A and B are shown apart, each in its own frame.
Chain A
């Protein structure tokens, strides 16, 4: 028995030695990763205030240890939360957040993260009505991403959105159609839904409510599949406008009722 016990103990010790070390990471690096994951979980649950708090903590820790990737990722995450918080001037706070990312760290982060910062900056400029600056950044980014950096659908979507917001509905529709044909099979689904929304709004502006409704229903189906309440609300609002333009008062009322329900749920109110 003694021999068996010694043998088992030896096996256990050897197995322990053979195993690679999986914990014992530097505490702050581990904390950045953990806070980032918790923040993302809170974001996807719609708890933006908690997500913001967690991303702020993660960003502070990442800065302490000069974790460039962590700083970049948390800056992006924090900027998105600020943008989507619904607070007045959220875009400006988000832009200020992104502008704090040190220039010297751009050279050491993966090109995809750097491109994400550039694209998000262009988005925030568009939100703030600075369309010219946004288009200029977009042009630079498009050159950088000529071989498709994984953000091409987003770049084309923002371009179409900016053109639509400038009042050129026909060109926006053309851009959206081209991008949809290009990215339909393998594009980011959130961006495909954005493109469909631009297509719907452009079609509506061009007096084609039937095409608009078709595109917006497709966008709504995608956003529902992605469980994006804010996007669902945007889709329902646009569908209500489309129904009104088509003279379909019943559908208009139907979409508005659905929109009100989504808004109440987002605000935490009980359903009627």
Chain B
């Protein structure tokens, strides 16, 4: 029998007409939603094969479940668990960090690689950066462990300045105060000695010459007081009791001078050894400061508002000669 009206079709399909029309809209919508969910899941990496990798760190400061793991700047995984490891034979207390890492990147992490806890800018998130070891080593296998070293952020820098730099500055301040103090410093002592020597005769005059030389040495704080003392003792053997007393005073002066010069030398040495570190730290601080905006951009909620593209890498440098122009290098 041939259907003669739309209602006949509805009856043939066994559906009430309004309900059938509704399905025409609902079914595509459901299919679209399913595709959307699958797409989002793909984007989120739910279908990426991940394997376990462990890190051992001295503390869990700055690390939590979800902390990102990066390899050469690429996010390759995240921390999935943080557990305390009690001290055992030969090993101190440590923290074990379980991580889920994209399996495809394992081939690029040789055994012997290290990890470091870094911060994306001063106020950015903490991330664990894997520093690959030698390319000749075999790649790490799933479940293997990597040692994690920590780097100080802004707090660490401030602590380092306080513990390493401030003592040097304090010591320098005390030394300068001593040298400049007109009452208790070196200059008045030398002046007293010179006054006493004025009445000590020819031998004393030689001792005065000696002291003048010593004073000159004191001027640059690095003189050799011991040599002067040796000469002074030889002179003392041939002079009277007065001169001996004077030379004892001179000896104490020279001893003080030697102590001060040693202090000065030590401080100079400390400053010299600390200077490169301080400069490096200064550069780091400057770099951090210049990256504050970058770090902020990486952190929620700013990253939702601004997100910049990574800088394109350079081609590097080739130091070899180039083909002469006659060879037609360019197309």
Interface residues of A (CB under 8 A from B): 1, 4-5, 8-9, 11-12, 15-16, 18-22, 24-26, 29-30, 32-37, 39-40, 43, 46-49, 58, 67, 69-70, 72-74, 76-77, 80, 83-88, 90, 107-108, 113, 116, 119-120, 123, 127, 151, 154-155, 157-158, 161, 185-186, 188, 190-191, 193-194, 197, 230-231, 233-234, 263, 266-268
Determine whether B1 belongs to the interface, using a CB cutoff of 8 Å to chain A. Answer: no
Q: How far is the CA of A47 from the CA of B136 in the complex (A)?
A: 34
Determine whether B315 belongs to the interface, using a CB cutoff of 8 Å to chain A. Answer: yes
B40 contacts A80, C-beta separation under 8 Å: no
Our pick among A8, A35, A123, A267 for the contact of B33 (Cβ within 8 Å) is A8
Q: Which residues of B contact A33 (CB under 8 A)?
A: 309-312
A12 touching B317 in the complex, CB below 8 Å, given contacts A33-B312, A108-B290, A230-B329: no
Our pick among B303, B304, B314, B318 for the contact of A190 (Cβ within 8 Å) is B318
Which 8 residue pairs of A and B lie closest in terms of their CB atoms, listed nearest first?
Answer: A36-B312, A86-B329, A69-B311, A194-B320, A33-B309, A158-B319, A73-B314, A76-B314
A25 contacts B304, C-beta separation under 8 Å: no
Q: Which residues of A contact B37 (CB under 8 A)?
A: 8, 11-12, 15
Closest to A50 in B: B331
Contacts A74-B314, A230-B323 known; list 18 others, CB within 8 Å.
A5-B30, A8-B34, A32-B309, A33-B312, A43-B315, A58-B312, A70-B311, A76-B315, A86-B328, A107-B290, A108-B290, A116-B314, A123-B317, A186-B135, A234-B320, A263-B327, A267-B331, A268-B331
Q: How far is the CA of A161 from the CA of B318 in the complex (A)?
A: 12
Q: Report B296-324 residues with CB < 8 Å from chain A CB.
A: 303-304, 306-324
A191 touching B30 in the complex, CB below 8 Å, given contacts A12-B40, A73-B314: no
Q: How far is the CA of A48 from the CA of B315 in the complex (A)?
A: 13
Determine whether B176 belongs to the interface, using a CB cutoff of 8 Å to chain A. Answer: no
Determine whether B166 belongs to the interface, using a CB cutoff of 8 Å to chain A. Answer: no
Q: How far is the CA of A185 from the CA of B133 in the complex (A)?
A: 13
A19 contacts B321, C-beta separation under 8 Å: no
A161 contacts B319, C-beta separation under 8 Å: yes
Q: How far is the CA of A119 from the CA of B317 in the complex (A)?
A: 7
B88 CB → nearest A CB, Å: 35
Q: How far is the CA of A90 from the CA of B136 in the complex (A)?
A: 38
Q: How far is the CA of A90 from the CA of B40 in the complex (A)?
A: 49
A73 touching B43 in the complex, CB below 8 Å, given contacts A12-B37, A116-B316: no
B309 contacts A157, C-beta separation under 8 Å: no
Q: Report B107-163 residues with CB < 8 Å from chain A CB.
A: 134-136
B319 contacts A191, C-beta separation under 8 Å: yes
A15 touching B40 in the complex, CB below 8 Å, given contacts A33-B311, A70-B311, A116-B314: yes
Q: What string of 1s and 0s marks CB contacts (under 8 Å) between B282-301 and chain A?
A: 00001100100000000000
A186 contacts B320, C-beta separation under 8 Å: no
Of B33, B44, B325, chain A has the most CB atoms within 10 Å of the CB of B33
Q: Which residues of B contact A80 (CB under 8 A)?
A: 315, 317-318
A116 contacts B311, C-beta separation under 8 Å: no
B321 CB → nearest A CB, Å: 7
B315 contacts A40, C-beta separation under 8 Å: yes
Closest to A44 in B: B315
B137 CB → nearest A CB, Å: 11
Q: Which residues of A contact B316 (CB under 8 A)?
A: 76, 116, 188, 190
A86 contacts B307, C-beta separation under 8 Å: no
B46 CB → nearest A CB, Å: 10
Instruction: Please count how many residues in chain B sit with their CB below 8 Å of the partner chain's CB atoms.
Output: 44
Determine whether B85 belongs to the interface, using a CB cutoff of 8 Å to chain A. Answer: no
Q: Which residues of B contact A123 (CB under 8 A)?
A: 317-319
Q: How far is the CA of A53 from the CA of B325 in the complex (A)?
A: 20
Q: How far is the CA of A267 from the CA of B323 in the complex (A)?
A: 13
23 contacts between A and B (CB under 8 A): A5-B30, A12-B36, A24-B307, A30-B309, A32-B311, A34-B309, A73-B312, A84-B322, A86-B327, A86-B328, A90-B322, A90-B325, A119-B317, A154-B319, A157-B319, A161-B320, A190-B318, A191-B319, A194-B319, A230-B322, A233-B327, A234-B320, A266-B331
Q: How far is the CA of A216 from the CA of B324 in the complex (A)?
A: 18
Closest to B328 in A: A267
A26 contacts B306, C-beta separation under 8 Å: yes
A137 CB → nearest B CB, Å: 12
A19 touching B44 in the complex, CB below 8 Å, given contacts A76-B314, A86-B325: yes
Our pick among B40, B313, B320 for the contact of A19 (Cβ within 8 Å) is B40
Closest to A72 in B: B314
A233 contacts B312, C-beta separation under 8 Å: no
Q: How far is the CA of A197 from the CA of B319 in the complex (A)?
A: 12
B309 contacts A25, C-beta separation under 8 Å: yes
Q: What string of 1s and 0s marks CB contacts (under 8 Å) between B62-106 and chain A?
A: 000000000000000000000000000000000000000000000
